[in-house]
């Protein structure tokens, strides 16, 4: 997957759960698929509805009148939804022990990190809710394996 990428560190309790399952030789493919699906849905919701970075900060509004005019004409247009291609590009992959999601669009990185004339509008990453939900998903998975 090319474009913007965020490597998540932290979630220590969840990481400990995963290490324990991996050590037991558990197949985590279903769990990783669920986490990846959750991440894709959460990221799309953030772009489509919330217009906030994972840390909860509202994205800066467009200063370019071309985009503002387009937003006025199109239903659901707005920040990071000018053509809808970025939103449609959010996808994920999972393996036995990894879950990842992001965009394959080259311009995703400029929106995630900003640039010379473009304000950063981070859309990849985990919100506080995500950081609670993912360990809960893991705990439920572990409970089903007990």
| pLDDT for the residue 3 | 46
Higher pLDDT, 23 or 118: 118
Greater confidence (142 vs 92) lies with 92
Verdict on whether the full-model pTM lies above 0.85 = no
pLDDT tier at 141, thresholds 50, 70, 90:
confident
* pLDDT recorded at residue 112: 93
Query: Which pLDDT band, with edges at 50, 70 and 90, does 5 fall under?
Result: very low
pLDDT in tens, 31-50: 999 999 999 999 999 988 88
pLDDT average, residue stretch 23-30: 81
| C-beta separation of 70 from 77 below 8 A | yes
How many CB atoms are closer than 10 A to CB 65? 8
Cα distance between residue 78 and residue 71, in whole Å: 5
32 contacts 138 by C-beta, under 8 angstroms: no
Residue 76 in tokens: 């659901």
- The pLDDT tens digits for 57-75 are 998 877 665 655 555 555 5
Mean pLDDT (the chain, rounded): 80
Place of tokens 């474009």: 3
Cα(76)–Cα(79) distance, rounded to whole angstroms?
9
Note the pLDDT of residue 91: 97
Non-local CB neighbours of 133 within 8 Å, separated by 6+ positions: 38
Record the tokens describing residue 89, joined without a space. 């590009």
Three-class secondary structure assignment of 21-58: HHHCCCCCHHHHHHHHHHHHHHHHHHHHHHCECCCCCE
């Amino acid at each position: 997957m090319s474009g913007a990428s965020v490597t998540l560190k932290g979630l220590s309790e969840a990481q400990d759960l995963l290490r324990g399952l991996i050590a037991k030789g558990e197949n985590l493919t279903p769990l990783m698929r669920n986490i990846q699906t959750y991440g894709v849905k959460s990221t799309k919701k953030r772009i489509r509805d919330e217009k906030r970075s994972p840390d909860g900060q509202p994205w800066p509004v467009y200063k370019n009148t071309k985009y503002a005019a387009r937003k006025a004409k199109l239903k659901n247009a707005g920040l990071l939804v000018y053509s809808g291609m970025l939103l449609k590009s959010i996808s994920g992959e999972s393996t036995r022990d990894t879950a990842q999601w992001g965009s394959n669009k080259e311009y995703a990185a400029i929106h995630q990190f900003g640039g010379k004339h473009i304000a950063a509008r981070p859309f990849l990453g985990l919100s506080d809710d995500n950081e609670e939900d993912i360990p809960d998903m893991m705990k439920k998975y572990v409970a089903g394996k007990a």
